């Protein structure tokens, strides 16, 4: 099963209000294992870079000025992601910007049915806890010491490690036969697993013969503690 873990950096929070995609990083997983194949690109947003956004990812308008437009890289990006399911942290944000850019250059958008959101998985597994990428990396012991600022490819690499942990850890790669027909439901089955119904305890009734043998056995015990304080008939 092939999946793409990806992250984006932007000029702001709302693609419908003029904010643009400025960086995307994608990691290819096959059967939850990184293959080493990646896609990474910076884009000229053709607008200014708000100070708040630059403080997060460190990408200035000057740095991006000579980078290609998204439209010139759209075909290469679409070829890389193919028809695979796509994993992102707070995925609707990333899908919103990706699809806004695709629409802007006349390309077909990515179907939201392909979306796997690691925030939703984390919320199901750890209700009430912090679900930021930093917090979850700390919880699962994923080294992020080299992460000074947000970066799309770096964050995608961290997220790929986190996604594997959230969906079963490295042991999932030890199965002898991979199920190539696995669907996205299996990718996020851990969400349903936390709501798995509790089965009632099974009752075992001793037979009449077992009860008689038990009574005969305890009758042989001298000074039994459970008989202290009782008066013999």
Residues 146, 147, 151, 155, CA torsion sign:
positive
Q: How far apart are CA 166 and CA 3, in angstroms?
A: 15
Known catalytic membership, residue 150: yes
Exposure string for 58-74, b = 16+ CB within 10 A, e = fewer: ebebeebeebeebeebb
Q: Which of 85, 131, 150, 214 is catalytic?
A: 150
Tokens of 197: 């119904």
Q: How far apart are CA 55 and CA 23, in angstroms?
A: 15
3-class state of residue 37 by DSSP: strand
Q: How far apart are CA 178 and CA 186, in angstroms?
A: 13
Q: How far apart are CA 42 and CA 67, in angstroms?
A: 6
Catalytic positions are: 150
């Amino acid at each position: 099963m092939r999946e793409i873990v990806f992250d984006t950096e932007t000029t702001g929070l709302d693609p419908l209000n003029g904010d643009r995609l400025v960086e995307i990083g994608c990691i290819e997983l096959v059967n939850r294992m990184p293959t080493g194949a990646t896609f990474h690109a910076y884009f000229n947003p053709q607008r200014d870079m708000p100070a708040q956004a630059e403080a997060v990812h460190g990408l200035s308008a000057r740095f991006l000025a000579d980078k290609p437009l998204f439209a010139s890289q759209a075909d290469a990006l679409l070829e890389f992601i193919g028809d695979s399911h796509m994993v992102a942290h707070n995925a609707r944000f990333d899908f919103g910007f990706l699809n806004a850019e695709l629409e802007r250059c006349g390309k077909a958008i990515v179907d939201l049915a392909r979306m796997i959101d690691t925030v939703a998985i984390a919320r199901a597994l750890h209700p009430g806890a912090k679900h930021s990428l930093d917090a979850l990396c700390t919880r699962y012991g994923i080294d992020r010491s080299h992460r000074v600022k947000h970066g799309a490819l770096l964050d995608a690499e961290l997220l790929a490690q986190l996604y594997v942990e959230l969906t079963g850890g490295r042991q999932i790669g030890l199965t002898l036969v991979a199920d190539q027909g696995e669907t996205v439901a299996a990718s996020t089955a851990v969400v349903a697993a936390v709501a798995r119904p509790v089965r009632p305890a099974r009752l075992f009734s001793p037979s009449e013969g077992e009860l008689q043998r038990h009574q005969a056995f305890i009758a042989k015990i001298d000074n039994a503690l459970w008989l202290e304080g009782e008066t013999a008939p």
